[in-house]
A and B are shown apart, each in its own frame.
Chain A
Amino acid sequence: MTVAQAKAKNLPAGANLPFIYREYSAERLKLALHKMYLIRQFEEGAEESYMRGLIHGTMHLSIGQEASAMGICMPLTNDDQITSTHRGHGHCIAKGAEVSKMFAEFFGKTTGYCRGRGGSMHIADVTTGNLGANGIVGGGIPIAVGAALTAKRLKSDRVVISFFGDGANNEGAFHEALNMASLWKLPVIFVCENNGYGMSTSMARSTAVANVADRAAAYSMPGVIVDGNVLSEVAEASHEAVRRARLGEGPTLIESKTYRYRGHSKSDRNRYRTKEEIEDWMTNRDPIVRYENELMEFGIIDQAGIEAIREAVRKEIADGIEFAKASPSPEIRNLERYVYTETV
Chain B
Amino acid sequence: MDQAVRELSYAQAIQEAMAIALESDERVFLMGEDIGVYGGAFQVTGDLVERFGADRVIDTPISELGGAGVAVGAAVTGLRPIFEFQFSDFATLAMEQIVNQAAKMRYMLGGAVSVPVVMRFPAGSGTGAAAQHSQSLEAWLGHVPGLKVIQPATPYDVKGMLLAAVADPDPVMIFEHKLLYKTKGPVPEGYYTVPIGKAEIRREGRDLTIVATSIMVHKALEAAKTLEAEGIDVEVVDLRTIRPMDKETVIESVKKTSRLLCVYEGVKTLGVGAEVSAMIAESEAFDFLDAPIVRLGGAETPIPYNPELEKATVPQVPDILAAVRSLATGSR
Give A contacts to B, CB under 8 Å.
81, 83, 112-118, 122, 124, 126, 131-132, 134-136, 139, 141-151, 153-154, 172-173, 175-177, 179-180, 183, 336-343
Q: Report yes or no: A149 in contact with B73, Cβ–Cβ below 8 A.
A: yes
Q: Report yes or no: A341 in contact with B77, Cβ–Cβ below 8 A.
A: no
Chain B: CB-nearest residue to A186: B70
Q: Which positions 71-97 of chain B face chain A at CB distance < 8 Å? A: 71-79, 81, 96-97
Given A117-B107, A176-B67, A338-B106, is A146 in contact with B73 using a C-beta cutoff of 8 Å? yes
Q: Which positions 56-74 of chain B face chain A at CB distance < 8 Å? A: 60-61, 63, 65-74
Cβ-closest 9 pairs across A and B: A146-B73, A142-B69, A176-B66, A115-B110, A341-B169, A143-B73, A114-B110, A176-B63, A146-B70
Q: Report yes or no: A116 in contact with B110, Cβ–Cβ below 8 A.
A: yes
A46 to chain B, nearest CB (A): 18
A334 to chain B, nearest CB (A): 10
Given A118-B108, A122-B108, A150-B77, is A183 in contact with B65 using a C-beta cutoff of 8 Å? no
Q: Collect the chain B residues with CB atoms within 8 Å of residue A151's CB.
A: 77
User: Is B55's CB within 8 Å of the partner chain A?
Assistant: yes
Stretch at the interface among B111-119, B204-212, B291-299: B111-119
Q: Collect the chain A residues with CB atoms within 8 Å of residue B169's CB.
A: 340-341, 343
Given A112-B110, A136-B101, A180-B61, is A142 in contact with B77 using a C-beta cutoff of 8 Å? no
Given A114-B112, A149-B79, is A339 in contact with B100 using a C-beta cutoff of 8 Å? no
List 6 A-B pairs, Cβ < 8 Å: A132-B108, A142-B72, A143-B70, A143-B97, A340-B106, A342-B111
Q: Report yes or no: B71 in contact with A146, Cβ–Cβ below 8 A.
A: yes
Of A139, A145, A339, the contact of B106 (CB 8 Å cutoff): A339
User: Is B307's CB within 8 Å of the partner chain A?
Assistant: no
B172 to chain A, nearest CB (A): 11
Q: Report yes or no: B72 in contact with A146, Cβ–Cβ below 8 A.
A: yes
Q: Report yes or no: B77 in contact with A81, Cβ–Cβ below 8 A.
A: yes
Chain A: CB-nearest residue to B93: A172
Given contacts A146-B70, A173-B69, A340-B170, 17 further A-B contacts (CB under 8 A): A117-B110, A131-B73, A131-B76, A134-B101, A136-B101, A145-B69, A145-B70, A147-B76, A149-B70, A150-B74, A151-B77, A175-B66, A180-B70, A339-B107, A340-B148, A341-B169, A343-B169
Q: Collect the chain B residues with CB atoms within 8 Å of residue A143's CB.
A: 69-70, 72-73, 76, 97, 101
B62 to chain A, nearest CB (A): 9
A136 to chain B, nearest CB (A): 5
User: Is B109's CB within 8 Å of the partner chain A?
Assistant: yes
A275 to chain B, nearest CB (A): 36
Q: Collect the chain B residues with CB atoms within 8 Å of residue A338's CB.
A: 106-107, 109-111
A124–B101 Cα distance when bound, in Å, is 14
Of A118, A183, A340, the contact of B110 (CB 8 Å cutoff): A118
A116–B111 Cα distance when bound, in Å, is 11
A50–B145 Cα distance when bound, in Å, is 30
Q: Report yes or no: B109 in contact with A114, Cβ–Cβ below 8 A.
A: yes
User: Is B129's CB within 8 Å of the partner chain A?
Assistant: no
Q: Report yes or no: B79 in contact with A124, Cβ–Cβ below 8 A.
A: no
A292–B66 Cα distance when bound, in Å, is 41
Q: Collect the chain A residues with CB atoms within 8 Å of residue B121's CB.
A: none
A116–B108 Cα distance when bound, in Å, is 9
Q: Collect the chain A residues with CB atoms within 8 Å of residue B60's CB.
A: 180
A174–B108 Cα distance when bound, in Å, is 22
B101 to chain A, nearest CB (A): 6
Q: Collect the chain B residues with CB atoms within 8 Å of residue A135's CB.
A: 100
Q: Collect the chain A residues with CB atoms within 8 Å of residue B75's CB.
A: 146
Q: Collect the chain B residues with CB atoms within 8 Å of residue A176's CB.
A: 61, 63, 65-67, 69
Q: Report yes or no: A142 in contact with B66, Cβ–Cβ below 8 A.
A: yes
